[in-house]
Every structure is written in C-alpha cells, then in structure tokens.
Structure 1
C-alpha cells in the first residue's frame, strides 16, 4: 500500500514539473504564432492603402518685364509713338523694295521683247503696235513717232526736225526714269533719319531711368533696368529699320542705272531710224 502511494505521489510530482516546464514553451510558441499574423495584417493594411501619385511640378509662366511687350504695355504715349513711326518706316521700306524690284524686272522683260520684235517689223508704225500696250519701250516709240507727225506750224518750223524728235524721245525717257526713281527718296529719308528716331527713343528711356532713380532715391537695378532696356530696344529697332533702307536704296539705284541704260540705247536707235526718213515714206504710202 505504501508502495502504491509512493508511486502515485511520484507520478503527480512528475506531472506538475512537466506542466510547469511546458507552459512557458507553449506561451513562447503562442507569441511567435500571433506576431507574424499581426505583422501580416499590418502589411496588408499598408499595401491596401493606395499612395497617391506625385503631382507634376506646376509650370508658372513668367513674363519678361524688360522685353518689347513690356515696352508697349508700360510705355507712355511718346515711346509708343516713336515705336509706331519706326514700324511704319520699316513697312514702307520693304514695300518699296519689293514693288521696285518687280517694276524693274518687268521693264527688263519689256526690253528683251523690244529687242526681239521691234527691229524686225516692216515699218516703224507696225513695230510700235507689236509691243505690249503697257511696255515702256512702246511708250517711247509712240512719242517719237507722234513727234515726227506733229512737226509743223509757224512755231515748230523754227525748231529743226532733229531737235524736235530728240526732245520728244528724251522727254519720254525722263518720264520713265522718274517712274523708276519713285520711292527711292523715301528709302534715303528712312536710311538717314531712322537711327535718330531710335536715338530719340533711347534718350527718352534714359530720361525715365533718371526719373525712377530720383523718385525712389536709390539707384537699384530694378529701378533702372526697365527704362534702360526700353532705351536699348529703341536703338536696336532704329538700326534695324535704317540698315535695310540704305542697302535697298543702293541696290535699287544700281539696278535702275542698268535698266535706264537699255532704255536710252533703244531711244538712241529709235532716233536714228526716225531721222532716216522711213516714217515719212510710211506716211506717204498711207
């Protein structure tokens, strides 16, 4: 009996010791089991929360406070009037250069036409009719022919036939020359005055700079940059208007000289033909 009781006590003691040793281990396993679940849940929450995409950097348009736009927007009536005059000069310069170039090219084509057709005609009257009605060479030919038919009367009898025909042809040539030279005076005027108009705008801009310094009481760069920039822009525009005008004047004048040389040569040949008496023979046949 005693032996059995000892065995029971030993079993109970062993059970208690085993329970006390197993309980911390199970607690540890329980903590290890719970912790990953918590971390996994936190990760899922973080992943489920969508992070908004970064906003693109906003681009702010910065206006140049010292440019041409600022000059027109902030300039007074004097600055705007000066700029407007320079713009008109530039437009007029380019218009005259283009139109005169077209006019000179047209007269050159008319000269080639006269050289090819005029001198191969049967009579001087027919030769004039062959040319185009707007041709400068036909204008000269008609003036010369009419001069031979109008030579007469008490007053014209005092002028010899040669002089009368020469004067008529020369008048026609002078009229063509005047027509070709039209507009060149404007180019010369713009070329000589545009830099001074721009200089006036420069002086006016410097005056504004000095006024800004006097009002503010300090010569800071932000006070004088605008007016000085305005002055420099006016100078640049004045030069940009004057340089094409001067170059265009010289270029068109040189081309006019070449065109008029051909016109004068035609007039001289026409004068010789009219003095030969061929026109009188043609009139007699009629």
Structure 2
C-alpha cells in the first residue's frame, strides 16, 4: 500500500499566509467557543443547584438565614444577588427621602430595584451568545474560503508541473477539503451550544422572575402571593358553589 504524504501537516507546510491565517482564525474560534461552552455549562449547573435551594430559603426562620442557605451553593449566584438587592432596597431605598426615587411608592421602589437586578442578570447570562452565534454562522464559510484558496493553488501547481493525472490532482484537492471539514467541526458545537444556552437562560430567568415576585410580595405585603394559576383555581372554587346554587 503506497504511503500517503498528504494531510494537515503537508497542507500547513505547503500553505501560504492566507491559508495559515484561515487555519489560525478557525483555531481561535474553536478555542473561544469551547471555553464559552464549558463556562456556561458550569454556570448553569451552579444556578440549577441554587434554584433547588429556594424551598430551603422560604423554610428559614429569618431572611438572613434564608440568604445563607442560598449562598451555600455560592454567594455569586443570581438568586443570592436578587435576595440581597431586595433586602438592601428594603433597608435603604424606602427610607431615603432626599432621592428622586423616594417619590415612588415603596412597593414601586422595590419593583424597580428588582427589575434592575434582573436586567443585569439577564445581560450576564446572555454574554458570549453573540460570539457563539457568529461562530456557528461564519465558521463553515471561513473553512470553505480556505478550501477554495487551497484548490486554486493546487490546480495552479499542477498546471505548472504539467502532470494532470488523477493521482496528482486527488491529493492536493482532497487536502484542501480539510479546511471545509475544519469549519464544520468548529461551527456545529457552537450552534448546538447556542441553542442549549438560550433555552437554559429562559428557564433560569423564569425562575428568577418568580423569585423576584415572591420577594416583592414578602417585603411589601409580608407574604408570598400565589401564582396566577393558583389564584384562578381558588377563584373558580369559590364561584362554583354560587353558580350551582343559582342553577
């Protein structure tokens, strides 16, 4: 069996500045994408662990104890930050009379503070998604450009040598196709990760929004408000007996 002298090493050795730049760009995109993928996966795992502590938070005897229970999974998770922001607003925002925000009703001040915290958390969760989307959309075309460039130079070299046999053409052309495969290998993980992170962010933001609603009710009404579905069910249960009696 004849030895194959073509491959990525030969492609790099015979490449020019353009092909080297394309390979470096693809490598950079791949490394950056995988760094974001792993970082987002770790953040998602930590936030999921923190979300499971919400029942322990509400089972605590005091607000401070509840925050400590949430912080057992890391004091930088967004649930702890949201609770601390609510407590900070409860202690200072509602008592400050020399600020423009003091003209709001205390409940509106709490809502404004929680909304700002949620907006900041959403921005942090969505950081890096643009890079993943850009990598998934452009990496195949970057690899394709490298393939076209490699095939062009391979055909020029074959034309100069005057040897147009199949075994002389298949090697350089097949070698140039490595760039297309590299572009797809970079793009596919980025696309899958973008979709997965987007869905994970929606789940986390929904949990944070519900927690913010509970915190707002805790500090403004002194109790948690049932979800809209629960309120609707309780309303129906009160209405049904009257309806039956009227019938």
TM-score (norm 1): 0.69
Is 1:169 paired with 2:114?
A: yes
- Distance in 2 (CA, whole Å) between partners of 1:90 and 1:156 is 46
In the alignment, structure 1 residue 106 sits paired with structure 2 residue 46: yes
Structure-1 separation of matches of 2:140 and 2:161: 32
Identify unmatched segments of 5+ residues in structure 1: 1-59, 279-286
Contact 1:166 1:271 in 2 (8 A): yes
Instruction: Verify: 1:256 aligned to 2:201, yes or no.
Output: yes
Determine the C-alpha separation between the residues in 1 that align with 2:3 and 2:27.
23
Aligned CA RMSD, in angstroms, stands at 2.1
Q: Is the 8 A contact 2:11 2:176 kept in 1?
A: no
Q: 2:179 aligns with which of 234, 242, 255?
A: 234
Aligned to 2:221: 276
CA distance in 1, matches of 2:97, 2:53: 36
**8 Å contact 1:212–1:223 — kept in the other structure?**
no
1:216 deviation in Å?
2.6
- Residue 25 of structure 2: aligned partner: 85
- Give TM-score scaled by structure 2 length: 0.80
Aligned pairs for 1:171-210 (under 5 A) are: 171-210=116-155
How far apart in 2 are the matches of 1:93 and 1:129?
34
Higher mean C-alpha deviation, range 87-96 or range 189-198? 87-96
Structure 2 partner of 1:127: 66
Task: Assess, with a 3 A threshold, how the Cα gap between structure 1 residues 111 and 212 changes in structure 2: closer, same or farther.
Answer: same
Alpha-carbon shift at residue 235 of structure 1 (Å): 0.8
1:191 deviates by: 0.2
Q: Please tell me whether Structure 1 or Structure 2 has the larger radius of gyration of its CA atoms.
A: 1
Offset of residue 222 of structure 1 = 4.7
**Residue 150 of structure 1 pairs with residue 78 of structure 2:** no
The answer to whether the 8 Å contact 2:53/2:69 transfers is no
Task: Give yes or no for contact 1:104–1:180 (8 Å, CA) kept in 2.
Answer: no
Aligned to 1:13: none
**C-alpha distance in structure 1 between counterparts of 2:180 and 2:76, whole Å:** 44
Structure 1 window deviating more from structure 2 (124-133 vs 265-274): it is 124-133
Residues 188 and 249, structure 1, Cα contact 8 Å, conserved in 2: yes
Post-superposition CA distance 1:63-94 (Å, at most 9, x none): 53221121122222211221121122112222
Q: What's the CA shift for 1:125?
A: 4.1
- 1:261-281: CA deviations, max 9, x gaps? 111111111111111158xxx
